[in-house]
């Protein structure tokens, strides 16, 4: 404790507390914080939880507290030393009967330096992970404060995004004016995750004189020529100058008759690289790398999904054009291009939490929470992705909370959905079906308007005009906003209304409020048909790759099993797996005959008790916990019977219309599919020296050098736990070789249960809150009265004695509701056990009193 307020490097005021001293006098403490000490040899020691006592005469350190924190001491000859792990922390010399600490406090300047580091880190993030030298250049130009451009320390997101093998030499050209020499290159491949508009490539164009860069996003390489022509007309019209020389590689998108003829027509000289010599197009190649480094940094830091890469690339280019470039003597490209200084006050941290002003009634909130995703083209405002409405708006009335970001939000259920993006400005709604939020169907060039003297938070202004690169298809009056749409009423399937309540609950775990086609024909009429179509093709590719069937002539003496398509919107795992459009081909197993088409059908799944036991072991032993998913798991099972199935709808051709599918592998919908998959997986695990638990057939254990590795299987979902990360990765590699797997990383959700883990504190939590919210919403209990206990121990439910007291189970989903709650009870809510037991007694003849008890 100390009386020196100026010594604190960090301080928190607290309620006044009294401290009793050794002479029976008391003093008051007004807060506590941390103090830095330069103890010896330049070693800095931080004392935490130091109390601020203004009336204290001497500064005191509690030796008892040091002992409790694990520090040992030794002394002699008037000296004392406190150490931990053989490292000296504090020294003291005897003076006046007390030991006086050797060293000095580190005050004022160091605290300011610490604050400067925080500001530098913040501006480093704001400027798209700009290098330290360029930040100092901006500070020297007076564009940012010197305290915001101090030395940068290690920053993980930069390492994750900018790690490289080799670098290219920078091309040098003595361009006399803008557009006299231009570099262009194409980035992307078919393996790139499609953006939300389905783009997999971008065309980058760099002006050599100013080093200003433009990006055009493409679905295929064939669009390269059209985008170049579009860019040429744009820049020549803006500058009254002409493109004179173009440097590209020898890719077919640049080297073709159409492109060459166009350049000859307009007198554009072509410079091409030698084969397999990308270094000769170094300016464009290096720019592509710079853009993607920023994209990876921003995606990694923000937690946005990969589908946002094009949107983030747009923001990256916006920042690059406002960053000093070494190739032009550290000038700013935008300044050379426009011949005026660009502004920086409007820059904000990507994915920062943003609050957009709305007018929605006198008693309703005046702001909606979202995340900042970029700068719009042609409008002085900000692009904000609204989390609840799942749409993008452009507004100048935005308040930012830059210290809180999307990746740090507590609402882990927030998932940016891959839908048609609706971009709304303050005055009108713009619908874009084929373009990115950032108008990526066209040029990403963002012209900045002159800055005003308004408040920085509201500097951008809304321009009431539609961006020419966005196709406006109607006014606000012609469209319903997502939050105003009438939700489709979902009734439980008839097969789940009685005995299969728990099975129905498993379906509800993955349910979404969006509509899902009931048949293939309905899917073809759906507005999302292209996405459903891609899902069916993806499913067929898996079936064909797995050799699921052979097309043969239709036998005359065998029954042909039918099949159908099932369509599902998968919610995935927030931060790991986005919302997916899923199509599944299933056989009509209800037409199979027992003893002919199948024999045994039982297949085990892991018990919920086993999952909880594994979680306890993981926490106790501080083990790694990973999660994997088997793609099309049932297709890996081998059939033992000869079965014939109709061809799937939508994939029948004139040549094969008389053929049928002779099944070689099990298929979803077949009675024996779960059993055949489980047998196949069990054989594989035995080959890997795993032992199946005698208490749970879906728990596999293997002893390794550092203990045990555990694997739990629930149909196609699995948890893998082990002390060694290497052992866990080895098992994952073995599984990936044998089956088509999806690595989900650290376990975060299993069977509708969210897994939250704090390894430092040794805490792991299981929660079914999202599942329970869906159940409440499904059975229209949003406004139900909240009670403290599920049901009183004294509460009794009489049986229904008169037929007129029974409720109609066709109208009231009694069994489904009980089964859904039972699933929560089995998973994480044992407090519901007695209540579930009580209401389950009346499944066959429930009355209104029983239904009230369920609610």
Decide which of 432 and 408 is more confident. 408
For position 115, what pLDDT does the model report?
57
**557 plus 606 within the same structural domain:** yes
pLDDT at 690: 92
Least confident of 178-192, 325-339, 396-410, 678-692: 396-410
Contacting residues for 754 by C-beta, under 8 A, at least 6 apart: 412, 748, 765, 766, 767, 768, 769, 770
Asked if residue 700 and residue 555 are part of one domain, the reply reads yes
pLDDT higher than 70, residue 456: no
Answer whether residue 56 is part of any domain. yes
Find out whether 382 and 354 touch, Cβ atoms under 8 Å. yes
pLDDT for the residue numbered 267: 93
Q: How far apart are CA 469 and CA 432, in angstroms?
A: 10
Residue 837: pLDDT band with limits 50, 70, 90: confident
Residues 6+ apart with CB under 8 A from 224: 186, 203, 218, 253, 254, 259
- Residue 494: predicted pLDDT: 42
| Distance of alpha carbon 456 from alpha carbon 717, whole angstroms | 49
Q: Is 721 part of any domain?
A: yes
Work out the pLDDT band at 138, boundaries 50, 70, 90: confident
pLDDT of 309 > 60? The answer is yes
Q: What's the DSSP call for residue 325?
A: B
Which structural domain range is residue 34 located in? 5-107
Domain identity same for 365 and 216: no
Q: In the sheet where 201-207 sits, what is the strand order?
A: 213-218, 201-207, 182-188, 245-248, 269-272
- 398 closest CA partner among 318, 314, 460, 465: 460
| 745 CB neighbour count, 10 Å cutoff | 12
Asked if residue 29 belongs to a domain, the reply is: yes
* pLDDT at site 625: 92
59 with 92, same domain? yes
Position 536 scores a pLDDT of 92
Which segment of 299-308, 445-454, 780-789 scores lowest on mean pLDDT? 445-454
Percent of the chain exceeding pLDDT 70 equals 80
Domain of 252: which CATH number?
A: 3.30.420.10
Q: What is the mean pLDDT of residues 498-521?
A: 54
Of 274-278, 458-462, 814-818, where does mean pLDDT reach its minimum? 458-462
Q: Are residues 774 and 748 in the same domain?
A: no
**Per residue in 689-713, pLDDT tens?**
999 999 898 999 998 888 899 999 9
For residue 594, the model assigns a pLDDT of 80
Q: How confident is the model at residue 418 (pLDDT cuts 50, 70, 90)?
A: very low
- Give a yes or no: residue 662 inside a domain: yes
**Are both 550 and 658 inside the same structural domain?**
yes
pLDDT of residue 214 exceeding 90, the answer is yes
Segment among 72-86, 403-417, 532-546, 747-761 with least mean pLDDT:
403-417
Residue 116 pLDDT: 62
Query: Which whole-number Å values give the CA distances from 290 to 173, 254, 260, 293, in the listed order?
Result: 20, 22, 29, 5
Any domain includes 647? yes
Query: Partners of 424 in the beta sheet?
Result: 393, 429
Strand partners, 564: 586
Q: Using CB atoms within 10 Å of the CB of residue 612, give its burial: 0 to 12 exposed, 13 to 18 middle, 19+ buried.
A: middle
Indicate whether 129 belongs to any domain: no
Nearest of 815, 816, 786 to residue 490 by alpha carbon: 816
Residue 108, Ramachandran bin (φ over 0: left; ψ between -120 and 50: alpha; else beta)? left
Q: Note the helical H segments in 16-141.
A: 63-68, 109-126, 132-140
pTM of the model: 0.40
Q: pLDDT per residue over 385-400, tens digit each?
A: 787 777 788 888 888 8
416 falls within a domain: yes
pLDDT digits (tens, 9 = 90+) for 462-507: 333 333 333 333 332 332 333 333 444 444 444 433 333 443 344 3
Tell whether 333 and 358 lie within a shared domain. no
Same-domain pairing of 180 and 300: yes
Confidence of residue 47 (pLDDT cuts 50, 70, 90): confident
> How would residue 215 be classed by pLDDT, with cut points 50, 70 and 90?
very high
pLDDT category at 719 given cuts 50, 70, 90 is very high
CB 71 within 8 A of CB 82: yes
User: Under DSSP, is residue 799 helix (H, G, I), strand (E, B) or coil?
Assistant: coil
Q: State mean pLDDT over 825-843.
A: 82
CB 702 within 8 A of CB 686: no
Closest CA to 582 of 590, 573, 572, 574: 572
Tell me the mean pLDDT in the region 363-375.
82
Q: Between these two residues, 405 and 219, which has the higher pLDDT value?
A: 219
pLDDT above 90 (res 229): yes
Co-location of 747 and 600 in the same domain = yes
- Res 416: pLDDT: 38
One domain, residues 182 and 302: yes
Confidence of residue 15 (pLDDT cuts 50, 70, 90): confident
Same domain? 299 vs 397: no
Q: How many structural domains are present in the chain?
A: 5
Give the number of other Cβ atoms within 10 Å of residue 592's Cβ: 20
pLDDT at position 172: 59
Mean pLDDT of all residues in 157-175: 63
DSSP at 52: B
Tell me which range, 392-406, 570-584, 667-681, is most confidently predicted by mean pLDDT.
667-681
Mean pLDDT of the chain: 77
Asked which of 107, 123, 138 is the last residue of a domain, the reply is 107
Domain termination site, one of 436, 465, 484: 484
Bridge partners of 691?
Answer: 701
Q: Between the ranges 39-43, 420-424, 486-490, 797-801, where is the mean pLDDT highest?
A: 797-801
State whether 817 and 733 are in the same domain: no
Domain boundary among the residues 734, 756, 778 is at 756
**Is 139 contained in some domain?**
no
Q: Is the pLDDT of residue 647 over 60?
A: yes
Q: Does residue 589 surpass a pLDDT of 60?
A: yes
Least confident of 12-21, 213-222, 225-234, 571-580: 571-580
Range picked from 430-434, 622-626, 819-823 for highest mean pLDDT: 622-626
């Amino acid at each position: 404790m100390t009386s020196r307020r100026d010594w604190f490097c960090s301080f928190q005021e607290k309620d006044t507390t009294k401290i009793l001293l050794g002479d029976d006098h008391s003093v008051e403490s007004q807060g506590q914080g941390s103090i830095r000490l330069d103890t010896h040899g330049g070693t800095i020691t931080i004392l935490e939880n130091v109390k601020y006592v203004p009336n204290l005469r001497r500064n005191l350190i509690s030796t008892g507290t040091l002992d409790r924190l694990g520090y040992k001491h030794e002394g002699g000859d008037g000296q004392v030393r406190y150490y931990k792990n053989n490292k000296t922390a504090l020294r003291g010399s005897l003076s006046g009967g007390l030991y006086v600490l050797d060293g000095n406090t580190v005050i004022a300047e160091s605290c300011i330096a610490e604050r400067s580091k925080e500001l530098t880190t913040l501006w480093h993030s704001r400027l798209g992970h700009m290098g330290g030298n360029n930040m100092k250049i901006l500070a020297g130009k007076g564009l940012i404060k010197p305290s915001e451009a101090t030395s940068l320390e290690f920053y993980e997101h930069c390492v994750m995004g900018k790690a490289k093998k080799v670098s290219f030499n920078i091309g040098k050209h003595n361009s006399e004016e803008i557009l006299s020499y231009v570099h262009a290159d194409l980035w992307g491949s078919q393996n790139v995750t499609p953006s939300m508009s389905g783009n997999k490539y971008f065309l980058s164009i760099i002006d050599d004189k100013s080093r200003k860069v433009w990006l055009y996003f493409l679905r295929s390489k064939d669009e390269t020529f059209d985008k170049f022509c579009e860019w040429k007309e744009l820049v020549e019209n803006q500058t009254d100058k002409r493109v004179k020389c173009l440097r590209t590689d020898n890719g077919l998108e640049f080297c073709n008759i159409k492109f060459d003829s166009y350049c000859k027509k307009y007198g554009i000289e072509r410079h091409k690289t030698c084969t397999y010599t990308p270094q000769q197009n170094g300016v464009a190649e290096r720019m592509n790398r710079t853009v993607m480094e920023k994209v990876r940094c921003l995606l990694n830091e923000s937690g946005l999904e990969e589908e946002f890469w094009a949107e983030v690339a747009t923001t990256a280019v916006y920042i690059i054009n406002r960053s000093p470039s070494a190739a032009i003597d550290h000038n700013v490209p935008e300044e050379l291009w426009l011949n005026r200084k660009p502004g920086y006050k409007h820059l904000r941290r990507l994915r920062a939490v943003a609050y957009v002003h709305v007018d929605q009634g006198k008693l309703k909130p005046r702001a909606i929470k979202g995340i900042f995703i970029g700068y719009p083209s042609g409008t002085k405002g900000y692009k904000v992705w609204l989390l609840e409405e799942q749409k993008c708006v452009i507004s100048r009335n935005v308040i930012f909370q830059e210290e809180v970001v999307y990746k740090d939000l507590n609402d882990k259920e927030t998932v940016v959905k891959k839908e048609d993006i609706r971009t709304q400005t303050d005055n009108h709604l713009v619908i874009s079906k084929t373009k990115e939020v950032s108008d990526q169907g066209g040029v990403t060039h963002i012209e900045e308007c002159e800055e005003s003297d308004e408040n920085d938070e509201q500097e951008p202004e809304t321009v009431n005009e539609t961006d020419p690169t966005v196709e406006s298809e109607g006014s606000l009056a012609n469209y319903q906003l997502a939050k105003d749409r009438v939700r489709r009423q979902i009734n439980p399937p008839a097969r789940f209304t009685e005995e299969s309540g728990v099975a129905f609950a498993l379906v509800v775990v993955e349910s979404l409020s969006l509509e899902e086609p009931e048949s293939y024909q309905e899917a073809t009429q759906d507005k999302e048909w292209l996405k459903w179509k891609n899902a069916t093709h993806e499913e067929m590719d898996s079936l064909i790759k797995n050799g699921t069937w052979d097309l043969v002539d239709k036998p005359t003496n065998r029954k042909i099993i039918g099949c159908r398509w099932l369509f599902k919107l998968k919610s995935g795992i927030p931060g790991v797996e986005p919302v997916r459009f899923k199509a599944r081909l299933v056989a009509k197993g209800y037409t199979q005959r027992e003893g002919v088409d199948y024999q045994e059908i039982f297949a085990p799944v892991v018990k919920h008790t086993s999952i909880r036991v594994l979680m306890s072991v993981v926490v106790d032993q501080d083990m790694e916990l990973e999660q994997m998913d088997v793609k099309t798991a049932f297709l890996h099972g081998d059939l033992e019977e000869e079965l014939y199935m109709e061809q799937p709808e939508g994939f029948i051709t004139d040549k094969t219309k008389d053929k049928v599918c002779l099944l070689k592998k099990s298929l979803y919908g077949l009675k024996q599919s779960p059993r055949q998959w489980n047998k196949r997986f069990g054989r594989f695990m035995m080959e890997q020296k795993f032992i199946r638990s005698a208490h749970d057939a879906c728990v596999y254990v293997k002893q390794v050098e550092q203990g045990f590795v555990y694997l739990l299987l629930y149909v196609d979902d699995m948890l893998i736990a082990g002390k060694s990360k290497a052992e866990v990765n080895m098992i994952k590699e073995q599984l990936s070789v044998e089956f088509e797997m999806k690595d989900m990383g650290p376990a975060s959700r299993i069977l509708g249960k969210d897994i939250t883990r704090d390894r430092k504190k040794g805490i792991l939590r299981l929660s079914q809150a999202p599942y329970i919210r869906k159940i409440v919403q499904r059975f229209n209990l949003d406004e139900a009265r909240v009670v403290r206990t599920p049901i009183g121990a004294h509460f009794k439910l009489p049986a229904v004695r008169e037929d007129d007291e029974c409720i109609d189970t066709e109208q009231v989903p009694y069994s489904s509701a009980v089964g859904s709650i039972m699933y929560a009870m089995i998973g994480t809510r044992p407090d519901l056990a007695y209540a579930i037991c009580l209401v389950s007694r009346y499944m066959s003849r429930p009355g209104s009193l029983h239904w009230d008890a369920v609610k």
